């Protein structure tokens, strides 16, 4: 009986030690799980922030592209107006020269008359 009691006591001590070791291992795993979940949440938050920043940057790039297109359109219009003005100036200069020649011709005819 004494031997059986000693064996039972030793066995239950080993069980308690084993159970305590298992509990510590479970606790350590639970802590690691919580830490991993926390890191995952932080990573998700960072990803969401990065997506918002990227979306904002995309919007700003698109707005800048629209401004460039508008400026190019205005530049094209200004160039067309400048060419038109240049053409009108060339036409006016040509007409002026025609008038000057006609006046010179009239002066020559008047002088000869």
Of the pLDDT bands very low, low, confident and very high (cuts 50, 70, 90), residue 8 is very low
CA 68 – CA 16 distance, rounded (Å): 77
For residue 52, give both structure tokens.
């918002």
Chain mean pLDDT for the chain? 88
Q: What is the pTM of this model?
A: 0.52
Q: What pLDDT digit, counting tens, does each position of 19-40 carry? A: 667 888 898 999 999 999 999 9
For residue 107, pLDDT over 70 is answered with yes
For residue 91, pLDDT over 70 is answered with yes
Q: Which of 32, 52, 50 is nearest to 42 (CA)?
A: 50
Q: Reduce the secondary structure of 23-48 to three states and give it as a string.
A: HHHHHHHHHHHHHHHHHHHHHHHHHH
What's the pLDDT at 25?
86
Could you give the count of Cα atoms lying within 13 Å of 51 in the half-sphere of its Cβ? 6
For residue 101, give both structure tokens.
């020649």
CA 66 – CA 58 distance, rounded (Å): 12
């Amino acid at each position: 009986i004494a031997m059986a009691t000693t064996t039972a006591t030793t066995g239950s001590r080993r069980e308690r030690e084993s159970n305590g070791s298992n509990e510590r291992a479970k606790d350590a795993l639970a802590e690691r799980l919580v830490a991993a979940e926390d890191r995952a949440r932080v990573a998700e938050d960072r990803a969401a922030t990065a997506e918002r920043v990227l979306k904002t940057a995309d919007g700003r790039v698109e707005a800048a592209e629209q401004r460039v297109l508008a400026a190019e359109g205005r530049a094209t219009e200004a160039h067309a107006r400048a060419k038109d003005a240049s053409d009108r100036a060339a036409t006016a200069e040509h007409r002026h020269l025609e008038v000057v020649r006609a006046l010179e011709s009239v002066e020559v005819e008047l002088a000869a008359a």
